Amino acid sequence: MLLVLVVVVPTGLLAWLAVRGVRDERRRVADQLGAAAASRLADLDARVGRLLDDRARGLTELTDGIAPDDAAAWRRLVRTTPEIAQVAVQGPDGRLLHPSLAAGVSDAEADYLRRIRGLLEDGTLLAAAAPSPEATSQKLAGPAADHGFLAWYWDTGLHLLWWRRTPSGAVVAAELDRARLLADLAVALPSGADDGGPWRRITLLDSRGEVLVQSGAPAAEGEAVAAVERRLAPPLAAWTLRAELVGAGGPGALGGFLRAAALVVVAAVLVGLAVVFYRESSRELREAAQRVRFVNQVSHELRTPLTNIRLYAELAERRLADDEEARSHLAVIVAESARLGRLIGNVLSFARSRRGELAVHPAPGVVDDTLRAVAAQFAPSLQSRGVELALDLDAPRPIPFDADAVEQVVGNLLANVEKYAAAGGRAEIVSRQGGGATTVRVADRGPGIPAAAAERIFEPFVRLSDRLTEGVSGTGIGLAIARDLARAHGGELRLAPSERGACFALELPGPAEGGER
């Protein structure tokens, strides 16, 4: 279950993040590409605009000075100007000045007149060219312009008429050659290779969506394509420029596949790792439990012979009252077996505490008595290490406590003094009663404990690894057991602040405050 959670949750999260990332990125890229392509299309639109401007300028020059009714000149113009197909001139009174019946009308001219009859008859042309601010909707330039373009439809679609107002008020209307215009647009559009943007094909479409001109290579197979469109500026507003945009659609089929494959691989790796860790940790847990059980059993087995060793050593000590040397040897045996007993007691207490079975059996007694007994036990070994143990005991009132447990706690503290603070040369046990509590302080003049480690030292197996613990043996469970025992009493063991060395304070509940006064 946990395994599933460990694998599925991160994988799902990754997938979600990936999808979201891809989507965001795709949108951002699409926006950027879209903007780039749109500005490209705007450029092209402007290019078309310039082309028309140039055309208008050229036609203005060519038509300068041609009299409105000079049929021969107009015909010469049409014959020699590839950019225009036909010309008509309408007088301000609406009368047709060219082509006119007087000079004869060719078939092509008649055709042209038929096509633009609407413009001529309802005055649209004259209105468009009128020098008033009205009727300018179709004009390219402002109201003051004396020339411009009109969009006009017949058979093959949109055609452009260029008009010009002559000083006499007549209006010249020249039909731009549509084929030539398209040919010029075909050449004006970039051929694709010289472009290099994120777009592929650029197409000019007419109002029916049919391709007029296209350039650039098509998007490659599998390339995701979005389109950006732009209507050309008037007078060609019926035509649309379209750019095929690539890269905006994000990864194609291949990209998606790669992404999915990456996710699968990540998931597989996670599953593998989880399995390995799980097997490793469960094996370790099993082994650790076995080890604890083993140590526990061994400790139990050790206790019985140890008790006997101590018992018989004490008996022998009493019998050998005269032999001073033998007595001292036996005293060492007694002290060492007592130490071993404490060690085994610690191990067993620790095992119980881990199992949650640690219990104390309080019975009324005087703490100072217990403290004296412990001090007596440790005095010889402390002395042999050059540590003077001072007692300042003032806890005479009885309280309920487990004497064995308190002995174990204080013993563990003194054992630490022995191990780490022997260089200080002095240790002190102080007991006080007051405020509803009995406090026992064990202080030394050793190197002390950094405040940062004040809590950590109570964790099992923690030994401050520096000069202090170097070369000193120990189990690393003494302080942990001590605190557990203190708490089992409803009391506390903590590191008390002190000017030099370490000072541990054991608090036990009682006696009740009222009893004192």
Partner 1 sequence: MTVSTVRRSLAGFTFALLAALAAAPVEAAREAVSLALSRPVIPAGGSQTVYLKVGLEVAADAGFRAPVNVAIVIDRSGSMQGEKLARAKEAAAVAVSRLRPDDIVSVIAYDDTVRVLLPATRVADRRAVLAAIEALEAGGSTALFAGVSHGAAEVRKFLDLERVNRVVLLSDGLANVGPDSPAELGALGASLKKEGIAVSTIGLGLGYNEDLMARLAGRSDGNHAVVEHPRDLARIFDLEFGDALSVTAQDVLVEIVCAPGTRPVRVLGRDAEIAGRTVAVALNQLYDAHEQYILLELEAAPGRAGESRTLAEVRWSYLRLGETPAPEAGSRVVAAGYSADPEAVAAREDPEVMVAVVEQVATERNRLALDLRDEGRIAEAQSLLLANTAFAEQAAEKYDSQVLADVAAENEADAETIVKQEEWRQQRKSMKENQLKRSKQRKW
Binding site for partner 1 (CB under 8 A): 71, 75, 79-83, 85, 99, 103-109, 156, 177-180, 182-184, 186-187, 191-193, 201, 211-218
Q: Distance of CA 84 to CAs 52, 151, 163, 173, Å?
A: 12, 14, 12, 10
Q: Residue 33's closest CA among 243, 255, 222?
A: 243
Q: Which is nearer to partner 1, 77 or 150 (CB)?
A: 77
- Nearest Cα to Cα of residue 203 among 213, 193, 191: 213
> How far, in Å, CA of 267 to CA of 215, rounded?
46
- Of 154 and 458, the one with the shorter C-beta distance to partner 1 is 154
* H or E stretch covering 107: helix 107-115
Task: State which residue, 175 or 402, has the beta carbon closest to partner 1.
Answer: 175
- For partner 1, the closer of residues 113 and 348 by Cβ is 113
Q: Give me the least distance between CB of 274 and partner 1, in Å please.
A: 53
Rounded CA-CA distance 234/27 in Å is 32
Nearer to partner 1, 85 or 241 (CB): 85
CB of 78 to partner 1, least distance (A): 8
The strand pairing partners of 507, in sequence order, are 439, 492
Give the shortest CB-243-to-partner 1 separation in angstroms. 14
- DSSP 8-class letter at 168: T
* Alpha-carbon span 232 to 203, nearest angstrom: 12
* Residue (152 or 420) nearer to partner 1, CB: 152
Host H or E run for residue 412: helix 403-420
Nearest distance, CB of residue 36 and partner 1, angstroms:
21
Closest distance between partner 1 and the C-beta of residue 215, in Å? 5
> Measured from the CB of residue 184, what is the shortest distance to partner 1 in angstroms?
7
CA angle 303, 461, 470 (to 5 degrees): 100
Nearer to partner 1, 218 or 364 (CB): 218
Minimum CB–partner distance for residue 241 and partner 1 (Å): 14
Decide whether 74 or 420 has the Cβ nearer to partner 1. 74
- Both tokens of 386, joined, read 């050059």
Q: Which residue has the tokens 């100007």?
A: 81
DSSP output for 8-42:
HHHHHHHHHHHHHHHHHHHHHHHHHHHHHHHHHHH
User: What DSSP designation does 513 have?
Assistant: G
Residues 6+ apart with CB under 8 A from 13: none
For the CB of residue 133, give the shortest distance to partner 1 in the complex, in Å.
36
